[in-house]
Structure 1
Amino acid sequence: MSFTPTRLPDRVKASLWAGSLGALVVGAAMLGVSLSSPALAENIRGAATGPTTAPGFSHPEQYIHLKDVKPADNMYPVIQHHEQDKAAQAKLASLAAKTGKKPNIMIFLLDDVGWGDPGFNGGGVAVGNATPNMDRLANEGLLLTSAYSLENTLIIFTSDNGPECEIPPHGRTPFRGCKGSSWEGGVRVPTFVYWKGMIAPRKSDGLFDLADILPTALDLAGVPGAKLAELFPKSTYIDGVDQASFLIADDGLSARRSRIYTLNQYYSAIRIDEFKGVATGEIENGVVQKGFPGGFSGPVFTDTGGAIVFNLYTNPQEDVSIGIRHIPMAVLLQYPPQFKISASCPTILRSTTSSPRSKKG
């Protein structure tokens, strides 16, 4: 399937300021201040009683000030970690020399599992549904909090989306919204990756999209990075990111700088670091007022009165917008895929027009 790039209207560009999972070109600008005054230049970091010797705190997975790079023209841009990639490839080469073959990959894709359902995310026995086996594997592998023993086998445990909340009983999520919406509760899923002897136990809030599974698996099969583009026509856009070194390297960092959210035929939001800029979203309780309707029964807003930005670290419930006070600097230039889903005709029609409101099939 191929997509023709579709330019978003100025209304959407103006309302977008930051965010997360198509082609994306994101530019970031940082405001620099020149310290020309000698007094200011000598103001060493520290407390009122004098300078400090503390090294400060590093945020290695903060990417808003960094430029991501496309491995190929038809591939999603990535944050490059050259030394990390070398370390991961060395571990893979050592494993290949030991086993004489490529690894197996096993994916457990569950349906409508809430982020808070498994025990490793706070559910399990605490909510009357113990999950001892998956908890054990999660605790021995890499637990992904933003995404999301067999020999020579990579195990990926995840869900296709958040819980379905239209009709109880339903799954649990600490986030806003459910399946069918682009709020975090609808798209953030419980995920862990396990590989005996290859992945050290740890947790990470680095971005990981299920679209990343394809390029990551191909890397493990011997087709890393830009080589993946050689397997597809140039008209096919690869929106996944190769995350092999993120998973395998010790203390590996995510290669994904941003993630696009969609809602039906609309571009909905973008996440970069902890910031999520929203242009389109579902209005909960807009139609059904009794209880929480989940993600399918609400109307959708496509216009806003100003910038809507959420800090997902300090406000994961997405109920306090900081768009007017704290504007992360990012500009969405182009986003190719545009879909139209009709209730009367479930066929997904590909749009090649310039407006997300238009459709063409």
Structure 2
Amino acid sequence: MSPITTPSSRRLATLAALLVSTSLWAADTAPTITGPTKVQGRPGYDQPNQYLVSRTVKLADNMEPVIPNTEQNQQARAKLAALEKKFGKKPNIVVFLLDDVGYMDMGFNGGGDAVGNATPDIDRIANEGLILTSAYSQPSCSPTRATIMTGQNQAHHGLQSPPMYGQPGGLEGLTTVAKLLSDQGYTTQAIGKWHMGDNEGSLPQNVGFDHFRGFLSVSDMYTEWRDPQYNPEVALSPSRYEYVEKLPFNKADVEASKGGKIRDLYTIDTNTIKDLDQKWLSFGVDFINRQKDAKKPFFLYYGTRGCHFDNYPNDYYLGRSAARTSYSDCIVEMNDVFAKLVATLDQTGQLENTVIFFGSDNGPEAEVPPHGRTAFRGAKGSTWEGGVRGPSFVYWKGMIQPRKSDGLFDFADLFNTSLSLAGKPGADVAKLVPAKTYIDGIDQTSFWLADNGVSNRRSIFYFWNDEISAVRVDEFKFMMIAQAANAITQSGDNGGFSGAALTSQASIMFNLYTNPQEDQTSGIRHIPMGVPLQAEYLRYREVLKKYPPHTQISLK
């Protein structure tokens, strides 16, 4: 398979002919319908957020085009200026990232009590903020985390799959939001799961964070080879156990300060892992308390251990969920962790000047039960909606109008939006990174802050390794590469890691409003919508030619 998916020559020829008469689509300009064939609109059909026909502009060559929403941009800037005048500093920024949690695990998306793990505090806070029903991660954890840090999708930053057991690769040489926020005068703190490379140049204290407390890898790498319940062939074999134990990856809860060395606190095993999230919570609460009277704003990147497999519930939370599974017990704990952090911000008088983004790094890990739930097809590791569309919201007391929005949001947008809040909006971001760096994120400050704000993003691109798997505009998703769940095992599997990647013969299209399960292709019936989707796909193929994929770690 080529580095960039190429449609068949017949499909390209057909597309070229269609594009001659629809060149305005490719130019990101709404077509004008004139003469007797002009359609009279029907009530309800012209929605304000139909991005397919919205004009976009390029702020810089190495940035994605944005939809200019001038009035809401002005409103957002006015609100930020008033807040800065009140507090005397830029706003604090918190990114709270769960691990392997599904769209339907949270009550605000219809889960919670309904699936046996109540999330009352998360739901309450979500309903006081902006619930993002179409927020997109990358298909798995490390790619998503690197996307948040760099504002790039996995094709560009190169972490296309999670590094395992000391595998080289990471953030080294990339420009991170932590580094840029530090340059803007922010205190930068990372807590919890890292998993973006444990080589020296990729460690958190060397990519912009003032301090780090957490672990460098992922839950199962600390426990699965120690637990005879899951891997008796290793755990009960002294020679195999010793082999894994000697692999070059850090096995401890650690801390480090900017420019310093990693300091091991204690070894993580099947016993000590139970209390990790509580220990990290205590550290997080202490950090927030210390910022109460600080003159500098802070950026807190908080990655939980929960609820990646295998879940070993803290003694207090064992059996606390109605479902009484280790996964659901973990969700109940995560509700309390998030609630405690928000309460601490409130108690210290910092909540009004703090924006909080809540999300999950990918969909549920459906190959290892018990696991999370999703309303969509597929799961972690796939580019079906279930793999990349999780529970997300943004909360800012007094600054964000409570509402739900299906406006498109990519986790890469956190990069641009955070820098915009720090005083570097729009095209200013392009000046902060090397000219060869393509920024896939978009500044969504006005989407968040304006009353009834709409997304500034026209499209979402999905990636399988370094290849475009699909593109979404409005409710339509155009898919070129899909994971076939039953290609390896007869019964099939909902996860993406055990499936096979298949290239469609004539790219398929789904209406995600009428068919969120993605099991009824509508491409043949809706060719007028398919043409601009293909044009958007071809536009980004040209981006990948000028700013080529940078593969560090891949499943290929």
**TM-score computed with the length of structure 1 as normaliser:** 0.82
In 2, the alpha carbon distance for the partners of 1:232 and 1:87 equals: 28
1:348 maps to 553
Larger Rg: 2
Q: Which residue among 79, 85, 91 is the counterpart of 1:91? A: 79
1:65 maps to 53
Give the counterpart letter for 2:440 in structure 1: D
**Structure with the larger RCO, 1 or 2 (CA within 8 Å, 6+ apart):** 1
2:397 maps to 196
Q: Give the alignment's Cα RMSD to 1 decimal.
A: 2.6
- Following superposition, the deviation at residue 57 of structure 1 comes to 5.5
In 2, the alpha carbon distance for the partners of 1:147 and 1:114 equals: 12
1:142 maps to 130
- Following superposition, the deviation at residue 335 of structure 1 comes to 3.9
- Following superposition, the deviation at residue 151 of structure 1 comes to 2.7
Going from structure 1 to structure 2, the CA distance change for 1:113 and 1:30 (only over 3 Å counts) comes to same
Residue 105 of structure 1 aligns to a residue whose secondary structure is strand
- Following superposition, the deviation at residue 262 of structure 1 comes to 0.4
Tell me how many residue pairs correspond in the alignment. Answer: 319
- Following superposition, the deviation at residue 191 of structure 1 comes to 0.3
1:101 maps to 89
Structure 2 gaps of 5+ residues are 16-24, 137-345
Q: Is residue 8 of structure 2 the alignment partner of residue 11 of structure 1?
A: yes
Q: Which residue among 174, 188, 195 is the counterpart of 2:375? A: 174
- Following superposition, the deviation at residue 11 of structure 1 comes to 2.7
Residue 98 of structure 1 aligns to a residue whose secondary structure is helix
Q: Say if 1:165 and 1:179, in contact at 8 Å, map to a contact too.
A: yes
Q: Is residue 63 of structure 2 the alignment partner of residue 75 of structure 1?
A: yes
Going from structure 1 to structure 2, the CA distance change for 1:310 and 1:107 (only over 3 Å counts) comes to same
Q: Which residue among 503, 521, 530 is the counterpart of 1:321? A: 521
Give the counterpart letter for 1:314 in structure 2: T
Structure 1 gaps of 5+ residues are 1-5, 18-24, 47-54, 341-346, 350-358
2:479 maps to 278
- Following superposition, the deviation at residue 96 of structure 1 comes to 0.7
Give the counterpart letter for 1:338 in structure 2: P
Q: Say if 1:70 and 1:78, in contact at 8 Å, map to a contact too.
A: yes
Q: Which residue among 93, 100, 110 is the counterpart of 1:112? A: 100
In 1, the alpha carbon distance for the partners of 2:509 and 2:45 equals: 25
Q: Provide Cα deviations, 1:167-210, integer angstroms capped at 9, x if missing partner.
A: 21111001010000000000001101000010011000000010
- Following superposition, the deviation at residue 286 of structure 1 comes to 1.2
Going from structure 1 to structure 2, the CA distance change for 1:28 and 1:11 (only over 3 Å counts) comes to farther
**TM-score computed with the length of structure 2 as normaliser:** 0.54
Going from structure 1 to structure 2, the CA distance change for 1:296 and 1:87 (only over 3 Å counts) comes to same
Residue 259 of structure 1 aligns to a residue whose secondary structure is strand
Residue 116 of structure 1 aligns to a residue whose secondary structure is helix
Going from structure 1 to structure 2, the CA distance change for 1:29 and 1:96 (only over 3 Å counts) comes to closer
Give the counterpart letter for 1:116 in structure 2: M
Q: Say if 2:5 and 2:467, in contact at 8 Å, map to a contact too.
A: no
Going from structure 1 to structure 2, the CA distance change for 1:44 and 1:242 (only over 3 Å counts) comes to closer
Give the counterpart letter for 1:183 in structure 2: W
Going from structure 1 to structure 2, the CA distance change for 1:64 and 1:95 (only over 3 Å counts) comes to same
Going from structure 1 to structure 2, the CA distance change for 1:44 and 1:143 (only over 3 Å counts) comes to closer
Identical residues among aligned pairs (%): 56
1:338 maps to 549
Going from structure 1 to structure 2, the CA distance change for 1:253 and 1:223 (only over 3 Å counts) comes to same
2:363 maps to 162
Residue 173 of structure 1 aligns to a residue whose secondary structure is coil
In 2, the alpha carbon distance for the partners of 1:30 and 1:69 equals: 13
Q: Say if 1:307 and 1:324, in contact at 8 Å, map to a contact too.
A: no
Q: Which residue among 469, 493, 497 is the counterpart of 1:292? A: 493
In 2, the alpha carbon distance for the partners of 1:266 and 1:13 equals: 20
In 1, the alpha carbon distance for the partners of 2:10 and 2:398 equals: 46
Higher mean alpha-carbon deviation, 115-124 vs 329-338, is at: 329-338
Give the counterpart letter for 1:87 in structure 2: Q
2:311 maps to none
Which aligned runs of 4 or more in structure 1 are off by greater than 4 angstroms?
25-33, 43-46, 55-58
Q: Which residue among 354, 372, 386 is the counterpart of 1:185? A: 386
1:234 maps to 435
Give the counterpart letter for 2:409 in structure 1: F
